[in-house]
Structure 1
Amino acid sequence: MKVAVMQPYLFPYIGYFQLVNAVDYFVFADDVNYIKRGFINRNKILLNNQEQYFTVPCHKPSQNRLINEIKIADDMKGYPENILLTIRQAYKKAPFFTEVFPIIESLFHSGIDSIATLAARSVESVAKYLEIEVDLKFSSVSFSHTKGQERSARLINITKESGSDHYINPIGGNILYDKEHFKSHGITLEFLSPQIRPYTQFTDDFVPNLSIIDVLMFNSPEQTKILLEQYKLV
Structure 2
Amino acid sequence: METQDKQTLLIDLHYLPNLEFFTYLQSFPNIILEANENFIKQTYRNRCYILGANKVEMLTVPVIDGNKKILIKDLKIDYSQRWNIIHWRTISAAYGKSPFFEFYADYFQNILDKKNTFLWDLNFQMLTTCLKLLKVNRTISHTEVYQKEVDSNVFDARTLFNPKKQVIETSFYLPKPYQQNFGNEFVPNLSIIDLLFCRGTQALEILKNSSLN
Q: What TM-score bracket applies, with the shorter chain setting the length?
A: 0.7 to 0.9
1:45 paired with 2:45, answer no
Distance apart, 1:49 and its partner CA: 4.0
Alignment-derived partner of residue 135 in structure 1: 139
Distance apart, 1:9 and its partner CA: 0.1
1:149-188 alignment to 2 at 5 Å?
A: 149=147, 151-152=148-149, 155-156=150-151, 165=153, 167-170=154-157
Q: Does the aligned pair in 2 maintain the 1:71–1:115 contact within 8 Å?
A: yes
Q: Once superposed, what is the RMSD of the aligned Cα atoms?
A: 2.1
The 3 A distance-change label for structure 1 pair 50 and 64 is same
Aligned residue identity for 2:195: V
Q: Does the aligned pair in 2 maintain the 1:36–1:61 contact within 8 Å?
A: yes
Alignment-derived partner of residue 21 in structure 1: 26
Residues in 2 aligned to 1:171 and 1:108: alpha-carbon distance in whole angstroms: 26
Query: TM-score with structure 2 length normalisation?
Result: 0.84
Q: Relative to total residues, which structure has the larger strand share, 1 or 2?
A: 1
Residues in 1 aligned to 2:97 and 2:64: alpha-carbon distance in whole angstroms: 34
Residues in 1 aligned to 2:68 and 2:124: alpha-carbon distance in whole angstroms: 19
Residues in 2 aligned to 1:134 and 1:43: alpha-carbon distance in whole angstroms: 22
Instruction: Name the stretch that deviates more: 125-134 or 49-58.
Output: 49-58
Q: Does the aligned pair in 1 maintain the 2:10–2:157 contact within 8 Å?
A: no
Which digits, 9 at most, give the CA deviation of each residue in 1:6-39, with x for residues without a partner? 1110011011111222222111102101110111
Aligned residue identity for 2:34: A
Structure 1 unaligned spans of 5+: 160-164, 174-190
Task: Give the counterpart of 1:216 among 179, 196, 213.
Answer: 196
1:232 paired with 2:208, answer no
Aligned residue identity for 2:78: A
Query: TM-score with structure 1 length normalisation?
Result: 0.77
Q: Does the aligned pair in 1 maintain the 2:24–2:172 contact within 8 Å?
A: no
Task: Give the counterpart of 1:84 among 64, 88, 103.
Answer: 88
Distance apart, 1:138 and its partner CA: 1.7
Aligned residue identity for 2:124: A
Alignment-derived partner of residue 193 in structure 1: 172
Alignment-derived partner of residue 106 in structure 2: 102
Larger radius of gyration: 1
Structure 2 unaligned spans of 5+: 1-5, 161-169
Counting matched residue pairs gives 197
Q: Does the aligned pair in 1 maintain the 2:32–2:140 contact within 8 Å?
A: yes
Residues in 1 aligned to 2:118 and 2:159: alpha-carbon distance in whole angstroms: 27
Q: Relative to total residues, which structure has the larger helix share, 1 or 2?
A: 1
Instruction: Name the stretch that deviates more: 5-14 or 198-207.
Output: 198-207
Residues in 2 aligned to 1:24 and 1:126: alpha-carbon distance in whole angstroms: 16
Higher relative contact order (CA 8 A, sep 6+): 2
